[in-house]
Structure 1
Amino acid sequence: MRSLRYGINVTLDGCVHHEAGIAPDEDSMRYWTAEMDRVDAVLYGRVTYQMMESAWRRPTEGGWPDWMSEWDIPFAESIDGKKKYVVSSTLGEVDWNAEFVRGDLREAVERLKREPGEGLSVGGVELPLALADLGLIDEYAFVVHPVIAGHGPTLLAGLRERVELELVERREFRSGAMALLYRPAAA
């Protein structure tokens, strides 16, 4: 069975908004590239799918955009080629190696987890909250940045029940950010 890992950047005060002042650096991009390389599919809600597509989809003509640094390109290449599953009731169509997840969310994600493969990744804010409430997330990968945002959406805000986690891996970056990998604690 494929595991489902939720990965996201987060500030010290829990903000998970992509514009919270968290600038990617070489260490964090290498980390997220390795995270993307370990899965064969990603699961997104509409907002995250559209945001990731606008940033990381390979242009139809020419090379990668000028704004990308040399350490962004391996991540872009990895995510561009991944299968994507999109949970949305408002999008009319998807492409970028994507298909919709339809029907009951629990059943659909359990079906995806039973499919053969290396692993699944989920990103974003609202969809991971729903999946955590359903007990479907197997691992939580957070890169905690030494930033206090003071505003914005926060990590898993509105979670119905507390989730006990066990730290299984920790890695410090030169910037002072920490990559933390957790699994739900055994009951």
Structure 2
Amino acid sequence: MRKLIFGMNVTLDGYIAAPGDDIGWSGPPSDELFQWWLDQERASELTLYGRKLWEAMSSYWPTGDQQPDATPAQIEFARNWRDTPKVVFSSTIDKVDWNTRLVTGDAVAEITRLKAEDGGPMRVGGAMLAGAAMRAGLVDEYAIATHPVLVGGGTPFLSAVDSWVNLNLVETRGLPGGVVLTRYETRR
């Protein structure tokens, strides 16, 4: 059975995007933060995206390694991003590329099916998709990079759940710029 991980950059007041889908608050990541995210992505065998996050990622990473100022970590991230199998859940787009398949039906049913397969960890990204997985009790781990900024509103990292979810802290680490990394596993 696969493990499902939900992780994103988050403001101290719990948002992944400020009003208007603004993610400018996160600024360019430190080398250490970028490396941490790269390590997280390399450890994943499958990435699940909601439409908005898919559109953001696919607008840059297919050619991110070809940018003149790309660092070695960015080059590796772009290559890993292209090579890692991906599933996009959307009823509003009709085509995806770069080792990706599109699911237009029931996201929870498909994530449940994918979790039941043999294989390595899967990552889920996108507030709405991850929220549906959370409410269905499918998320096994939360990986959070908390940035020292308050934005006062926007898209929350965590959506409402139907019942308590107890967690165990498995990692915490401070990084340059005041970013704090935390990882929690769901207690089953």
Q: What TM-score does the superposition give when structure 1 sets the normalisation length? A: 0.89
- Find the aligned partners of 1:3 and 1:158 in 2 and give their Cα distance: 21
- Find the aligned partners of 1:12 and 1:145 in 2 and give their Cα distance: 6
User: 116-125 or 27-36, which moves further after superposition?
Assistant: 116-125
Whether the 8 Å CA contact 2:35–2:73 is kept in 1: the answer is yes
Q: Does residue 72 of structure 1 match 2:74?
A: yes
Partner of 2:30: 25
Please state whether the residue corresponding to 2:170 is helix, strand or coil.
strand
Shift of 1:20: 4.4
Opposite residue 64 of structure 1, the aligned amino acid is Q
- Find the aligned partners of 1:149 and 1:136 in 2 and give their Cα distance: 29
- Find the aligned partners of 2:153 and 2:104 in 1 and give their Cα distance: 33
The within-5 A match list for 1:160-171 is 160-171=162-173
Whether the 8 Å CA contact 1:58–1:80 is kept in 2: the answer is no
User: 119-128 or 98-107, which moves further after superposition?
Assistant: 98-107
Cα 1:155–1:104 shift into 2, 3 Å:
same
Partner of 2:14: 14
Partner of 1:48: 53
Opposite residue 22 of structure 1, the aligned amino acid is S
Instruction: Give RMSD over aligned pairs.
Output: 1.8
Q: Does residue 140 of structure 1 match 2:145?
A: no
Whether the 8 Å CA contact 2:61–2:81 is kept in 1: the answer is yes
Cα 1:11–1:67 shift into 2, 3 Å:
farther
What percent of counterpart residues are identical? 35
Q: How many pairs align?
A: 183
User: 159-168 or 30-39, which moves further after superposition?
Assistant: 159-168
Question: Which has a greater percent of helix?
Answer: 2
- Find the aligned partners of 2:144 and 2:180 in 1 and give their Cα distance: 8
Opposite residue 168 of structure 1, the aligned amino acid is V
Please state whether the residue corresponding to 2:15 is helix, strand or coil.
coil
Shift of 1:57: 1.1
Partner of 1:35: 40
